[in-house]
Structure 1
Amino acid sequence: MTITDLPRQGRPDTPGLTETALLTELEQVVATNLDRHFGTAKEWFPHEYVPWTEGTNFDGPYNGTPWSPDQSGMPEIARISLVLNLMTEDNLPSYHRAIAVQFGQDGAWGTWVHRWTAEEGRHGIAIRDYLLTTRAVDPIALERERMIHMSNGYAQPDSYDALHSIAYVSFQELATRIAHRNTGKISGDPNCERLLSRIAQDENLHMLFYRNLLNAAFDLDPDQAMRAVTNVVRQFQMPGSGLQDFGRKSVMIAKAGIYDLRIHHDEVVMPILRQVRALERTDLGPTGEIARTELVEFLSGLDFAAARFCEKREALLAKQAARRAR
C-alpha cells in the first residue's frame, strides 16, 4: 500500500501551533508521564554494579601498576563501543543546557528536565567506574578524550525547535538502549552485561516518556509533527558523532553487529513510527502529506542500504572464515 492509497480526512492546511503553545498544551501530558515514570522507575546504585575487588592502584601518586592492554580480556570492539557510549554520556551538561533552554525549568517540564539529567548522570558514573576498575581501557587516553569531547560541547542543529527535539530523543533513547545492550552481550563479561542491561532499562523508560510526548504532539499538530519526524529520521546522528574518529569506530561497531543500518531501520526507526502511527494517520493536511511522502522515500532507501550493508558484511565474514580454515 502506498501513501496515496491511505484514507484521509482532508484536514485543511492551517498554520500549526507556535512553539510556546505546543509546550503549554503538552504540559499536562508531561505531568501525566512524570507520574507514570516515578511509579515505574526503580532506584538503583552505580556502585553495586562495579566489581571493585578487581581493582588495583594505577601508577601515579599511589605508585601502582601502569595500565597495559593485556590487563583485560575484553574484545577490542567492546572496548571501543563502551568508550563511545561513555563519551556520549559524558556530554550531559551540554544536553541539559539544550533541553532546559527549549523545554524550560519550571512546572512539569522543569521537573522532567532535572530528573532526566540526574538519571542519565548515573550512567556515565557507572560505566567509567567499571572501565577503570577492570582496567578495560587506558585511563590516561580516556581522560584526554573526555576533556576534548566535553570542551567541544554539543549543539543541536539550528533548525531544531522543541518538537524536533522531542522527535529526536524518541529515536535516540531507543538507539542508545539497543547499543548498550548489544555492547554488554559482546563484551564477554557478565558484570559488564549486567551493568549495561541496567542502564538500558533507564534508557527504555526515557524513550517511552519522549515517545508518549511525540504521540501527543501528533494529535495536537499532525502536520508539524510529521515534518519534525521526517527531518529527524533523514538527518539522524547519535550525539557522539562529534567525537574524534567517530566515523571509523561506527563502521567497526556496525561490522560487529552492535549497531548497524539494519538495526537502526528495524529496531529503532520503524517501531517508533508504528507507535505514533506516522504512516497510517488520516489527519494530515497537504504539508503533512508532503513530509510523509519524503519519509516513505527515505525509508525505502534506508532499507535498501541496510540490506546491502548486511550482504557485504556476510560476504566479508565468509572470506575471513575461509582464510582461517586454510
Structure 2
Amino acid sequence: MQRTLTQLEILSELSGVAEANVNRHLSMAKDWNPHDYVPWDEGRNFATLGGQDYDPSQSRLSDVARAAMITNLLTEDNLPSYHREISENFSMDHAWGHWVGRWTAEENRHGIVMRDYLTVTRAVDPVQLEEFRMIHMGNGVTSEGHVGERIGDQEVDPYARSLLHVVAYVTFQELATRVSHRNTGKACNDPIADKMLQRIAADENLHMIFYRNICQAAIDLAPDQALRAIADILLNFQMPGLGMPDFRRNGVLMAKHGIYDLRQHREEVVMPVLKKWKIFDRNDFGPDGEKAREELAVFVEELDHQATRFEEMRDRSLAREAKKRAAAAS
C-alpha cells in the first residue's frame, strides 16, 4: 500500500526534477520584447490629452476575435493570483523559487504586449477593458475555484490546494491557453496580432512542458496520490477566466467559432497529456489510483459524447445564421 506523502516530502523529492527542468526551460526559452509586436505608428491620444476617445467603428476585429482577445488578456491580468497560488505551494526556495520568479516574469510580458496592442490599434473599448480588469483582479482566482465541491457522491477534501493539484491544473491550463491564443491569432485577421499571439503561445507551451514534466515525476513518485489529484482537476476543470465579466457569453462565441471548444479541449489538451503520462498503460497504481483511472476513463468517453453533441448543435446554429444572412442579402 502506498504511503501518502506530505507536501514537504513531495517538494523535497522533486527538487532535483525541478532544477533540471528550470535549466531545460532556460536553455530553450527565447527572450523577446513586447514593444516589438505593437504597431506604435497607429497610436494617437485619447480625449483627455486632446485626442479622440474610442468608438466601436475604430476596431478592425470581428466580434469573435474581440471577445477572445478580451478573455485572453483578462486571464493574463490575473497573474498576481496565479503567482500567489504557485508560490504558496511550490515555496520560494532553490529551483522552485527560481521557477516561480521566471514564470511570473514571462507571463507578465503576455499581458503587457496584448494590452499595448489592443490600446494602440483601438481594437477594444479601453474604458470597459479597465473596468473588467478591476473586477476580475478584485475577484481573484484560487485553486479551490478549479476543483468542484463534489465528485459523484463524494465530497472533495479541501486538500485541493496541494502541490499535486496545482501542478496538475497548470499543466492542462497552460496547454489550453496555448490553444486559445493560437486560434485567437488566426481569428484576428491581422498578421501583427497573429505573430504576437504565436509568440505568446510558444511561451505557454514551454510552461506547459515544465509543469507536465513535474507532474510526470510526481506520478512516478506517488502514483495513487498524483492520479487522484489529476482526476480531481480534470473532472472539474474550469478555465481561469471563470468569473470575469462576460465570460460565459465570450466563451460561447469562442467555442462556436473554433477558438476553444470541447473537442479541442479533449483532443488537443486532455488526451495528449494523459497519453504522455501513459495513464491508461501503467501498472503501478494501487486501489485508489485504479479508482481514479476508472473515473478518468469514464470522463474522457463522456467528454467525447459532449463534444459531438455540441458540434451538432453548433453546425445547426451556424447553418441557420448563414441562411438568414443569405435571405437578407437577396
* Same fold per superposition (TM over 0.5): yes
Q: Aligned pairs, how many?
A: 313
In the alignment, structure 1 residue 22 sits paired with structure 2 residue 23: no
Report 1 or 2 for greater relative contact order, CA contacts < 8 Å, sequence distance ≥ 6.
1
C-alpha separation in 1, matches of 2:2 and 2:201: 40
Of 195-204 and 154-163, deviating more is 154-163
C-alpha separation in 2, matches of 1:200 and 1:229: 23
CA contact (8 A) 2:15 2:96 kept: yes
**Which of 35, 47, 63 in structure 2 is aligned with 1:76?**
63
Residue pairs, 1:1-326, within 5 angstroms: 13-60=1-48, 62-157=49-144, 158=158, 159-326=160-327
2:279 is paired with a residue whose SS is coil
Q: Deviations over 1:64-89 (max 9, x none)?
A: 11110111221011111111111111
1:113 is paired with a residue whose SS is helix
Q: CA deviation at 1:116?
A: 0.3
Counterpart residue identity of residue 77, structure 1? V
Q: Deviations over 1:191-220 (max 9, x none)?
A: 110100000010000000000001101110
Q: CA deviation at 1:42?
A: 0.8
C-alpha separation in 2, matches of 1:289 and 1:299: 15
Of 22-31 and 313-322, deviating more is 313-322
Counterpart residue identity of residue 56, structure 1? R
CA contact (8 A) 2:39 2:117 kept: yes
CA contact (8 A) 2:219 2:227 kept: yes
1:241 is paired with a residue whose SS is coil
Counterpart residue identity of residue 14, structure 1? Q
C-alpha separation in 2, matches of 1:319 and 1:91: 37
1:242 is paired with a residue whose SS is coil
Counterpart residue identity of residue 37, structure 2? Y
2:143 is paired with a residue whose SS is coil
C-alpha separation in 2, matches of 1:211 and 1:58: 44
Q: Deviations over 1:106-130 (max 9, x none)?
A: 1000000000000000000000000
Q: CA deviation at 1:324?
A: 2.9
C-alpha separation in 2, matches of 1:113 and 1:97: 10
C-alpha separation in 2, matches of 1:324 and 1:196: 31
C-alpha separation in 1, matches of 2:133 and 2:246: 14
1:174 is paired with a residue whose SS is helix
Task: List gaps (5 residues or longer) in structure 2.
Answer: 145-157
Counterpart residue identity of residue 188, structure 1? N
Q: CA deviation at 1:233?
A: 0.5
C-alpha separation in 2, matches of 1:171 and 1:26: 20
Counterpart residue identity of residue 136, structure 2? H
Q: CA deviation at 1:319?
A: 2.3
Counterpart residue identity of residue 45, structure 1? N
Task: List gaps (5 residues or longer) in structure 1.
Answer: 1-12
C-alpha separation in 1, matches of 2:10 and 2:17: 11
Q: CA deviation at 1:311?
A: 1.1
Counterpart residue identity of residue 248, structure 1? R
Q: Identical aligned pairs, as a percentage?
A: 54
C-alpha separation in 2, matches of 1:324 and 1:76: 16
C-alpha separation in 1, matches of 2:176 and 2:189: 21
Aligned to 1:6: none
* TM-score, reference length from structure 1: 0.94
Q: CA deviation at 1:245?
A: 2.5
Counterpart residue identity of residue 37, structure 1? H
CA contact (8 A) 2:2 2:224 kept: no
Counterpart residue identity of residue 199, structure 1? I
1:239 is paired with a residue whose SS is coil
